[in-house]
């Protein structure tokens, strides 16, 4: 299986069936511990899936769904992103930064030491980095900083250093497209999934207020309160060193000024319609799905 995957990388990939859909498989890394029924997805890690084979298991980092005849084109994605809900129940199996000698498994980031020199190595599929991969690499770098080493060597063990941001992941970010194009209300659960909020409090409105009050009282009385404030101050100060808050304010005010005074902007007309409670002349296209996504006609029986 590894030989087939590597022979077909990076094009056209190995065509295979996962669930009820066909995918092209890319990459391939050996796994020497996990085992299961051939074809079973055993685990996931760093966007890759571990799939059982007749003689072991392999890690597959990238998938591309086979396009339907006459359908839209598809592109490579991290395997876990491509499969989505199909992986419900498949365990996350993290790999340590440093593996014991002889161990064979898939890792995007590794760390080793030789004397007082630390080697932080990374290899992302295609050399591109998503937000989560950048955060993982930063966490590994901070780990290396805390080690008793005097020099840190940063870079892949082979191949190129990096290709920048992961455009395929951005292209597939449909939560982003919905927020910016549909402009519809966001539920608490969807906000939590997209990272807009850190925690959702369950319960009715009265229970919500009581829980918020209890959390506030806990924070005020907690011995960790000063440390939390200091950490928050550092978090806010770091971006300000690159671009102060006043710069964001000036940019936003410039956009507002254009909206208010540019004769080509619809603000004045929209404000008047709102103030005078004028009814819209038509339903916006992103809400008129009966126009943008018409349903097929149902044949009538005489």
Strand 41-45 to strand 21-26: parallel, antiparallel, or no bridges (unpaired)? unpaired
DSSP state of 68: P
Q: 40 or 238: which carries more pLDDT confidence?
A: 40
User: What confidence score (pLDDT) does residue 294 get?
Assistant: 64
CA nearest to 79, candidates 157, 19, 140, 160 = 19
The predicted-structure confidence for 138-164, as pLDDT tens digits, reads as follows 999 999 999 998 989 887 766 666 777
Domains of the chain: 2-87 (3.10.25.10), 109-168 (3.30.300.220)
169 pLDDT band, cuts 50/70/90, is confident
User: What confidence score (pLDDT) does residue 93 get?
Assistant: 93
Average the pLDDT over 105-111 and give the result. Answer: 91
User: What confidence score (pLDDT) does residue 287 get?
Assistant: 76
Q: Of 20-29, 153-162, 199-208, 264-273, where does mean pLDDT reach its minimum?
A: 153-162
Average the pLDDT over 246-259 and give the result. Answer: 91
User: What confidence score (pLDDT) does residue 158 get?
Assistant: 64
Angle of CA points 238, 233, 136, to nearest 5°: 55
Q: How far is CA 87 from CA 36, 41, 45, 47, 162, in A?
A: 16, 8, 12, 11, 28
């Amino acid at each position: 299986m590894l030989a087939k995957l590597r022979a077909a990388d990076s094009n056209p990939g190995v065509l295979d069936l996962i669930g009820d859909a066909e995918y092209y498989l890319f990459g391939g890394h050996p796994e020497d511990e996990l085992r299961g029924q051939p074809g079973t997805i055993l685990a996931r890690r760093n966007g890759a899936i571990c799939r059982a084979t007749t003689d072991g298991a392999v890690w597959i980092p990238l998938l591309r769904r086979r396009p339907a005849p006459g359908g839209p084109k598809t592109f490579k994605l991290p395997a876990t992103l491509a499969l989505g809900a199909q992986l419900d129940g498949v365990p996350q199996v993290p790999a340590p930064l440093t593996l014991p000698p002889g161990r064979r498994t898939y890792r995007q980031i590794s760390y080793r030491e030789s004397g007082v020199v630390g080697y932080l190595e990374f290899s992302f599929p295609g050399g591109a980095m998503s937000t989560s991969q950048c955060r993982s690499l930063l966490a590994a770098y901070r780990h290396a900083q805390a080690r008793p080493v005097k020099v840190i060597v940063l870079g892949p063990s082979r191949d190129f250093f990096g290709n920048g941001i992961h455009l395929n992941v951005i292209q597939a970010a449909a939560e982003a497209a919905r927020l910016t194009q549909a402009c519809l209300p966001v539920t608490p659960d969807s906000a939590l999934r997209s990272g807009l909020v850190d925690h959702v409090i369950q319960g009715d409105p009265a229970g919500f207020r009581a829980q918020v009050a209890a959390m506030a009282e806990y924070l005020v009385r907690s011995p960790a309160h000063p440390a939390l404030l200091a950490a928050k101050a550092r978090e806010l100060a770091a971006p300000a060193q690159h671009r102060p808050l006043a710069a964001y304010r000036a940019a936003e005010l410039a956009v507002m000024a254009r909206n208010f005074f540019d004769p080509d902007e619809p603000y004045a007309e929209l404000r008047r319609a709102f103030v005078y409670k004028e009814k819209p002349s038509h339903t916006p296209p992103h809400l008129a799905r009966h126009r943008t996504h018409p349903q097929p006609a149902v044949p009538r029986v005489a």
